[in-house]
Structure 1
Amino acid sequence: MLRFTLLCLILASHSFANNEDAHRRDEETRKLAEGEKKISEQILKVLEHFKQPNPEGLPGANLPDPYPVPNMRHTFSMVSMYFENVALHGINKFRIIYVNAEVASMEVNAAMSIRNLQALGNYTMSTWLSKSRGPFTVNLTNIKVTARATLGVERDGKLRAQQIDIDVSFQSIDMNFENLGFLGSIFQGMVNSIGTFLFDSIKPFILKEALTKMRAEINAKLDEVAGDMQFPNSISPLDMVIAEARKKVQEMEVDPYQVKDYNASVSIFDITLSRTWITGISSFHRVGNITMKIENNTAVADFSIGTQKLEGKTQWDISAVGGLLSRSGTASFSIEYIAARFVVAQPLDTREHPEIRGLDIEVGNIQARCDGAGTIDYGVEFVVNILPNLLRYQITDAVEGPLQERLQQELNKVDVEEMIKSKLPKIDEMQESGFRLSTILGTTTSNEPYDDDEFFNF
């Protein structure tokens, strides 16, 4: 007879399996009737929301509270249960614990908490001996929801949701069924004592439907945003985007890059570097993974960027005593690679400035050649080719601190909120034409497979 009480435990989680579809249908109807709201309006609400010291919920994710749950009927053995007029209270009172996104591997882990969740409604229990009906209440406290989702590229070159896992836990559960009738008090005590065990037993069945619907919803959004593109199986979509960015840099004709002329005076000497060109800038690529996370109301990005071989040429001129003595010539140099790791944090309260939490620079072998200074050329080449390579780790360690401080000074000048607001008109334009990844990248790859060689051809 106890088996029919499992259904009271289903109610709290069953709504999560149904509310997404119901909310999506309501949204579609509303959009047809009123027109879709601008994303800029939603972004402004989010900016204001996270100015609170301890924000609850998320603008745009708000569901009706109380949220109506569809009527349900379940039969266990000789017991039939029917639930109606059920509403879930407190569903919008969630707090984000963390969100960790591994961009390269396309994996997201997230967790949120809800202090109290309550389901209220009416039940009808029918057996071959009796029939009972009345109100019921299910109270859950300190609920924690954890989720893990991964994306992957299918054989047709489309992005699809691969694995989605959700787990729901809570600290305590309290259930109350009124008008149970015969043996009601004994029955109620047994339910409350083993409620957690029963919930854990039926949880896989509860979440199965929700996971299926969530996967379908994610795939529908992926088709909407990137359905007109084909992704390769041999490299990650992130690397494909970076390869497209390299093409953009080349099309902008900034590789080779011309450096502004440099002038300096040291004692009686005047030094000028002119016609300086650097090639290899468009060879930038990802080094390791890229991690994006939200924790303690702060967004943190941890990423590393590197280049392949950089080469440069310049014309130098040294004069002394007001130009009475002068010497000019050319110099060329090469750097095997440059790699830098950045850890940047931005509070979700955009009134605060970004912060550089970490900076690590690596420089490969350095080679230089100088012409025009006569025998001094050999001394210059020796100093440049030997000393920096012997001391480059010490040099980079010495440079990282001042460079990080300088970058932080520049970030302190950035008004993040105003910068975001200045981009809102452009976002609205993109919304009107439909958000498409191919439009953002300026490429059309809907019918042609991506050439893997483009990624490796630096």
Structure 2
Amino acid sequence: MTGRTTLFLCVFATVATLTGVRAAIDVKAWLGEEPLTPERILEEMVEYFSQRDPHGIPVLKVPEPIEAPDRVTASQITLWDLKISGHSGLRLEYINVNLTTFTGVVRISVPKINVLGQYEWPGWWSTSAGSANITVTDIQVALNLQLGINTKGLLIVDGLQITLNYEDLILGFEGLAGEHALLVGAADTFFSTIIQPLIVGGIQDKLTKVLNERLEQRLKDKPFPNSISPVDYLVAKVRRDLRESGKDPIFVERKDVNLAWGVSVQLKNINIKGLTTLHRTHEVSAQFIDNALFVTIQIGTQQLKAGADWSISASLMPAVGGHLDVEVESLSVTVMAKQPADIRSPPVLREIDIQLGNLAVRSVGESTMDYLVELMVNLLPNTFRNIIMDKIEPKIHQAIQKQFNGLDIHRIILTKLAERRQAEANASP
């Protein structure tokens, strides 16, 4: 199953624990008749997030209400013949993952959970028994995750904390004995002494175990070093790939620019060095808000060097030229992008911000034109580089968004799934 589907299942387990239900529920009956393939999960999730207000548990066909006839025990209370409703209103409100510190927060809401059934509650002097009607309104569940790297280099859940808040807890028990009536009358006390310990004490350990099993299964062949953060490790891998693929220096094709009054500028033999100094400058984060994924990436380089042969020509004037060497003190780029949860829609580049350090230009040559070009290029860009970048950024933004518009994320994922299935088929004896 996908991570988001697993998350919804874990939340449902939390809600089930809230009501004290630990009966064995046949989840397989909720899967439907078709096999639960990655392709089916993808299509179900796409359909789920195509709604204006996605709610409920996707992929699974969860009935409303859920019937749990088995006898279950919550603290001293035994319940049976239970009918649980309200889970169809479950909503994924917010996810925030900091990929630098490897921490995450997940928030889910459920407008109301109602449990109907029979109960038995033994006491010191008498036993309470009869019908039960439990309603919890405006439930807010927060999961705080801390990820880490174990000694084997595997990504693990190093800490998990669940916080549960609610607006109102309405408890209706027929046939309550006096000693139990006092406890039920103090709903907050009932919550803190009976329900909250069940959630915090049981579901956290169980959920940690399930998530770590899934992580080990998915990433057992992709260990990380435990000396640096996984994000910095991935950036280091990009630097290595740039070196191994011969992209430092990188060579750019010839550029011809036509200016006013018949003046044309030609740049050729353009090369850029220093891309392998790429590094993370600030935090890298991802947030899921209002059914869209927002990603912020902040990266930069150290000193960049570039060189090019230049020539300027104009009508009725002889062509002049030379060679320029440019050094850029630093380059930093902040990219903020949005991907709708309905992945049939393309990503959107929300913002791109480019910051250039000081520039130094040296012209190889001793002619008056060389000195003039060197003076102009050194003076003007350093004086007006922020203004120049403000003018250039919209064009870069437009070019990147044009590439984004051509992306079919839905089709790309389906293709990758088909390739993986084919690879698995080829690998099997």
* Same fold (TM > 0.5): yes
- Distance change in 2, residues 1:280/1:363 (3 Å): same
1-structure distance, mates of 2:75, 2:198: 15
Matched, 1:252 2:245: yes
Work out whether 1:160 is the aligned partner of 2:156: yes
Q: Which residue of 2 aligns with 1:445?
A: none
Q: CA 1:193–1:209 in structure 2 vs 1: closer, same or farther (change >3 Å)?
A: same
In structure 2, what is the equivalent of residue 399 of structure 1?
Answer: 392
Tell me: CA distance 1:408–1:239, structure 2 relative to 1, closer, same or farther (3 Å).
Answer: closer
C-alpha spacing 1:318/1:362, structure 2 compared with 1 (3 Å): same
Once structures 1 and 2 are overlaid, which stretch shifts more, 133-142 or 418-427? 418-427
Aligned AA for 1:379?
Answer: L
* Partner SS state of residue 147, structure 1: strand
Deviations 1:98-122 (A, max 9, x none): 1111111111111111111011222
Shift of 1:408: 7.0
Residues 12/191 of structure 1: CA separation in 2 closer, same or farther (3 Å cut)? farther
Query: Deviation of residue 219 (structure 1)?
Result: 0.7
What is the aligned-residue RMSD (CA, Å)? 3.3
TM-score, normalised relative to structure 2: 0.83
Q: Residues 279 and 290 of structure 1: is their aligned pair in 2 closer, same or farther, counting only changes over 3 Å?
A: same
1:12/1:119 contact within 8 Å kept: no
Contact 2:349–2:401 (Cα < 8 Å) also in 1:
no
Q: Give the secondary-structure state (helix, strand or coil) at the position aligned to 1:378.
A: helix
1:425 aligns with 2:415: yes
Structure 1 SS opposite 2:87: coil
Q: Could you tell me how far apart the structure 2 residues matched to 1:112 and 1:62 are? A: 19
* Aligned partners of 2:30 and 2:60 also within 8 Å: no
Structure 2 residue 201 is the aligned partner of structure 1 residue 198:
no
Distance in 1 (alpha carbons) for counterparts of 2:241 and 2:400: 28
Which of residues 405, 411, 427 in structure 2 aligns to 1:414?
A: 405
In the TM superposition, what whole-angstrom CA distance separates every residue of 1:157-193 from its partner, at most 9, and x where no partner exists?
Answer: 322111111111111111222344x65xx965x4554
Query: Structure 1 residue 298: deviation in Å?
Result: 2.4
Q: Match for 2:190: what amino acid?
A: L
2:168 pairs with 1:172? yes
Moved more, 391-400 or 67-76: 67-76
- 2:315 equivalent in structure 1: 321
Structure 2 counterpart of 1:287:
281
- Relative to the length of structure 1, the TM-score reads 0.78
Q: 1:83 to 1:12 in 2, by over 3 A?
A: farther
Q: Is the 8 A contact 1:270 1:319 kept in 2?
A: yes
User: 2: CA distance between counterparts of 1:310 and 1:282?
Assistant: 10
Q: Deviations over 1:32-62 (max 9, x none)?
A: x999633122122212211211110242366
The SS at the match of 1:294 is: strand
CA contact (8 A) 1:303 1:342 kept: yes
CA distance in 2, matches of 1:14, 1:96: 18
Who is 1:303 aligned against?
A: 297
Q: Equivalences for 1:49-198 in 2 at 5 Å?
A: 49-60=48-59, 63-67=62-66, 71-73=71-73, 81-127=77-123, 130-180=126-176, 188=181, 190=182, 193-198=185-190
Structure 2 counterpart SS, 1:288? coil
Distance 1:175 1:131 in 2: 17
Code of the aligned partner of 1:56: H
Is contact 1:370–1:377 with CA below 8 Å preserved after alignment?
Answer: yes
% identical aligned pairs:
25
Which residue among 331, 334, 340 is the counterpart of 2:327? 334
Do the aligned residues in 2 keep the contact of 1:124 with 1:134 (CA within 8 Å)? yes
Unmatched segments (≥5 aa) in structure 1: 1-10, 435-458
Query: 2: CA distance between counterparts of 1:138 and 1:49?
Result: 29
Partners of 1:257 and 1:333 lie apart in 2 by 14
One-letter identity of the residue aligned with 2:364: D
| Structure 1 residue 84: Cα displacement | 2.2
Distance in 2 separating the partners of 1:74 and 1:359: 53
Residue equivalent to 2:203: 210
In structure 2, distance between residues paired with 1:283 and 1:345: 27
Tell me which amino acid in the other structure corresponds to 1:14: T
For residue 231 of structure 2, give the secondary structure of its aligned residue in structure 1.
Answer: helix
Kept in 1: contact 2:268–2:310 (CA 8 A): yes
Equivalent residue letter for 2:297: F
Q: Which has the higher contact order (CA 8 A, sep 6+)?
A: 1
- Output the CA distance in 2 between the equivalents of 1:17 and 1:233: 40
1-structure distance, mates of 2:52, 2:84: 26
For 1:128 and 1:204, locate their aligned partners in 2 and report how far apart those are by CA, in whole Å: 22
Q: Tell me, in whole angstroms, the C-alpha distance in 2 between the residues paired with 1:113 and 1:34.
A: 29
| 1:292 shift after superposition | 0.8
Listed one character per residue, the Cα deviations across residues 186-225 of structure 1 (whole Å, up to 9, x for unaligned) are 965x455411232134413432110001110111111112
Q: Does 1:269 align with 2:259?
A: no
Letter in 1 for 2:272: I
Deviation at 1:13, TM superposition (A): 5.2
Range with greater deviation from structure 2 (135-144 or 420-429): 420-429
Q: Does residue 1:228 correspond to 2:207, yes or no?
A: no
Match of 2:17 in 1: 14
Q: Which moved more, 1:231-240 or 1:347-356?
A: 347-356
Give the residue type in structure 2 aligned to 1:71: R
Instruction: Identify if the C-alpha distance between structure 1 residues 241 and 432 changes in structure 2 by more than 3 Å, giving closer, same or farther.
Output: farther
Output the amino acid matched with 1:89: S
Alignment length, in residue pairs? Answer: 408
Amino acid at match of 2:214: K
CA deviations on 1:86-106 (whole Å, 9 max, x unpaired) are 342222421122111111111
